[in-house]
Amino acid sequence: YAWDANEEYLFKAMVAFAMRRYSSKSTTQISNVLLCNVTDRVSFWFVVTDSSKNVTTVPGSEVEAAIRMNRNRINNAFLLSDKTLQFLKITSTLSPPVEPSTPVWLIVFGVVLCLIVAGIVFLVISGIRKHKKKNKESTERENLEEKVEVTLENGIPCEVLDIKAGHVNGVFAADDERFTSL
Positions in the binding site for another protein (CB under 8 A): 39-43, 93-94, 96-97, 104-105, 108-109, 112-113, 116-117, 119-120, 123-124, 127-128, 131
Minimum distance from CB of 139 to another protein (Å)? 14
Ramachandran area for residue 155 (φ above 0: left; ψ -120 to 50: alpha; else beta): left
Minimum distance from CB of 179 to another protein (Å)? 35
The rounded distance, in Å, linking the Cα atoms of 90 and 83 is 12
The smaller minimum CB distance to another protein, of residues 8 and 57, is found at 8
Can you spell out the DSSP letters for 22-73?
HH--TT--GGGEEEE---TTS--EEEEEEGGGTTEEPPHHHHHHHHHHTHHH
Minimum distance from CB of 14 to another protein (Å)? 20
The smaller minimum CB distance to another protein, of residues 34 and 114, is found at 114
Minimum distance from CB of 128 to another protein (Å)? 8
Q: Residue 47 CB: number of other CB atoms within 10 A? A: 14
The smaller minimum CB distance to another protein, of residues 69 and 117, is found at 117
The smaller minimum CB distance to another protein, of residues 131 and 133, is found at 131
